[in-house]
Amino acid sequence: MAAAKIRWGELEEDDGGDLDFLLPPRVVLGPDENGFKKTIEYRFDDDGNKVKVTTTTRVRKLARARLSKAAVERRNWSKFGDAASGDDASARLTVVSTEEILLERPRAPGSKADEPSASGDPLAMASKGGAVLMVCRTCGKKGDHWTSKCPYKDLAPASDTLDRPPTSDGPPTLGGGAAATKGSYVPPRLRAGAVQDAGHDMRRRNDENSVRVTNLSEDTREPDVLELFRTFGPVSRVYVAVDQKTGSSRGFGFVNFVHREDAEKAISKLNGYGYDNLILHVEWATPRPS
């Protein structure tokens, strides 16, 4: 087809920007028996010439997909909920239900329905399954109430199971010494013939080798302090005070060395040492009262 030159002088001022109204309409021919379809379009090139563009495409029909027998049966199921009011176009789509559907757990034939759970009553939960119920230590009732909620605790006589202050004869006794209630527990350190000075000597030895560290940052943890102090000698214990609400360090801690000489070297080297943008203050820890 011969290209026709557009005379720009014949166009009006308003038609200078869009010249598509001068082009013939789009024509689609086919598809024919061989599946070929022709599309004829007209457009302007960069020089203003009208150009005819013919596009030939082939149309093929896809074979019908094979579905399993179970999938075909599911399509014939009756719809429910929001899908029941849908149109035919959404018949093959997966519909997500927005309504609450309660499902019941299947049970064996002849079994009874589940009883309502008493999650708020710990006694009922303990009694289920043949568990041994708690026995009130004040009034002796079984499975009726806990000892802390006994209605007769104000009327019960005072018991002698509390720790007594130390006497001149020896260390404090539990439950009145030999007169303690039968079956009551006595710690090994309070039993007859126990060595009383072993634990005291161990605590005193740890206090002598203990170092107090202050001005720690909020991000400092026990592994950080251990890595810093273990270069001077073996460390037996590291403790960093942490705030229970925020989880950050409270700024101080303690380090126990195995040897006192290593603790002295750590104090001389790390006192005034810059760590995590802060200046550490290292000194001997105050011994705990005996």
> Looking at residue 268, what DSSP letter applies?
H
What would the two tokens of residue 271 be?
Answer: 């006192």
Q: What is the pTM of this model?
A: 0.33
pLDDT in the model for residue 168 = 47
Per-residue pLDDT tens digits for 115-167 = 555 455 555 555 555 555 567 777 777 777 777 777 777 666 555 444 444 44
CA distances (Å), origin 194, targets 177, 184, 186, 189 = 14, 18, 12, 6
The b/e string for 7-33 (b: 16+ C-beta within 10 A; e otherwise) is eeeeeeeeeeeeeeeeeeeeeeeeeee
The Cα 97–Cα 247 span in angstroms is 44
What would the two tokens of residue 193 be?
Answer: 């013939």
Q: Map residue 200 onto helix, strand or coil.
A: helix
The Cα 126–Cα 130 span in angstroms is 8
Residue ranges in the chain modelled with pLDDT below 70: 1-19, 63, 81-82, 86-97, 113-134, 154-183, 193-206, 290
